[in-house]
Amino acid sequence: MGRFSNYAEKAILLEKGKMIIMATATEAVHQYYHLTRQNKFYDVSNFKGTLNPILEFKQIIINGNKSSEDTIIAPSSKIELKVTGECKKDLPNFRITFSVYRDGIRLFSQHDVAEPEMLPKGYFESRIEVPPFFLRPGEYSVAIGGYQDGASEWIWGTDLVTFFVSEEWGKGNDFNNVGLINLPCIGKRSIIK
């Protein structure tokens, strides 16, 4: 569907024979995804672990969109994953982990801080950023959790929200490259005589 926006400037989206939108092809594709795909709603009961009663993740926000909304991201855009929550007691040596999956495969995990540190009692917000052109087009799911370094205290929730990287091909996102992650061209060629 995303390739369509590479071949047409304008588009009309129909639903049961009625026009929904007449707009640019990119806008029509985004509206199509919105109508045909539902994001998974964030559910606190998805969390497991010994810290479940102590640490409550309240909301996941992807590029400014709340977790109950579809999030469609252009490959050329950075992806900001943010979680808000409440910690009911001080947690020393703690860090929050974000993991991104595609087709059930964990592509990467990233922590909100480089080294574990105190998460004080109260409300918090943690975030990570994924650089532009890193993820190939497709659907991704997000897992979030955390752990206390040096202790067996942890919390983890999988398949909490999804987001989509749209199909937009170009110099930074070459259609001919294959794989789940997009690396910039770092190869070199030498002519040997």
| Per-10-residue mean pLDDT, the chain, length 193 | 64 82 76 55 72 91 76 90 95 95 90 95 96 88 91 90 80 65 67 86
Alpha-carbon distances, residue 34 vs 74, 107, 135, 187 (angstroms): 15, 25, 20, 38
pTM: 0.72
Yes or no: say if 71 and 164 are a contact pair by the CB < 8 Å rule.
Answer: yes
Yes or no: say if 87 and 119 are a contact pair by the CB < 8 Å rule.
Answer: yes
Kindly tell me the burial class for residue 113, based on how many C-beta atoms sit within 10 Å of its own C-beta (0-12, 13-18, 19 or more). exposed
pLDDT score recorded for residue 98: 96
Rounded Cα distance, 46 and 44, in Å:
5
Q: What is the CATH number of domain 40-165?
A: 2.70.50.60
Helix (H) or strand (E) holding 6: helix 4-7
Rounded Cα distance, 111 and 95, in Å:
6
Q: Where are the beta strands (DSSP E) in 103-153?
A: 105-111, 117-119, 122-130, 138-148
Q: For the chain, what are the domain ranges?
A: 1-36, 40-165
